[in-house]
Structure 1
């Protein structure tokens, strides 16, 4: 298969019981088995997305709908952010992507729905959504093409304004919400993390800039993050995760919302979303985390030194006592004989 060919994969998930409705689109590099690009939005009302026809929509069509819903303030921010985080993480997971592409090739639609439901449930709780999806192989050169057909089943939804042609241009040019995926190299691991806060002397999150060094804490949310925590020996015997320094790669403010990409290793990245720009994060001041093993080793060393000192003192006391006893016995024998 040509390296110029990619999968475009999009789905609509509707869970009326939870009032959670999701629109998703992605571009998948078939050779690398990685998600190159993705856009997703979660909304509370199904009418915002249910009329989208996936079979006639290009990747760019769905991206524009997602951005429009975000611009209009119709998205469920926390859920949208969580979904972006999960799909980015899974999109760089060899196991997940090889499995997904295998199901694509075998047209195993039930298995595709199953793994999508697993990711959605991680973000939205115990969800049992109705999932519709569409995937196809396209030439990479056609990714920026838009459908010549109306991607909505009912065109009246788009014709409320007489000048409909100006509507796409308005949100296309403003682009109020942009992901920072381009700052995360292909093949890098993306793991969940959070800021270490410092309300008094910290750096306000909306002033973060590339190159800033701040303290973050990794989160144990999946096997990938758990393996990194174990490799870096960040977990204490009590189960707490020690903070570590990270470098800000990129940061963007969208109104009151902040999105920051942070790097902690050559191929380990994280993305943190924060809806309060007023919070302050702890800067890295050069301190070196003290490992528990080092503390216990030092403690053992001190204990051994103390024990040695006590043993030496006891030996001296015994020798003095024996010396005094010897002198006394000599004096007694001299007096008697």
Structure 2
């Protein structure tokens, strides 16, 4: 049997707001030989990296490589994704199943397979999954609709006008985490209106040792794998027309820095159910209090200085008892 004249182009975009993980992958499938011609995939911590699922297969490949080249990927999750994709798209039984679902437009079954892949790489959650597939000829495999070079030039130009944050330098003995702002399109505060001292909500992005350690020490991962939002203080913010660079502080030991490319976003600064925003003071206070149940055990040595008074009171009591007895 010869190769098919046409391929299936399968593209997937996953938006997991709970874990702040954004995944995209594409596969080129040969329905006649039941084999995978090529696949690409990447996970990042920003939704800006995702392409619409109706982009071309080559668009997905180019964007994947560019995200990796820029270092914007979540390395551990991307590595897991590529391992799972290799296993899935190398399995004849899995490919036969996928091709069957495509042939019969069974999108719900495809979504189930994709959700299983996402659970393996990012944990159990409730992500938004978008899937698009189409038939393309061999001559259309390298067709593109997105000019990545032009996007790169625009990004380079915009980076040149990002204001310097040299007025604030994060101390070298502090831990620096990766994070994303918790957005609130309706009740949030515009990024450009925020100032140092304001409290905002953020979600740490898992994927590097320091951030993973903070997530673990502050017990920020729910049983379903979602990362909890936590409050942070803005300590420095520098904005231009289109971009803001923000430095936040979770506590005295943990800082974070981010370049937000959309100044129009609204950041969550208040939780109506929680009332006033609590402020974490230190990693130690957040962990040790939970271990001890909030109970402070006193050192037995603390009462040693009152022992002489106890002896004196005892002698007085004995003397008074003797006086009353003989009277």
TM-score bracket for this pair, using the shorter chain length:
0.3 to 0.5
Normalising by the residue count of structure 2, what TM-score does the alignment of the two structures yield? Answer: 0.44
**Larger Rg over CA atoms:** 1
- Could you state the TM-score of these two structures normalised by the residue count of structure 1? 0.43
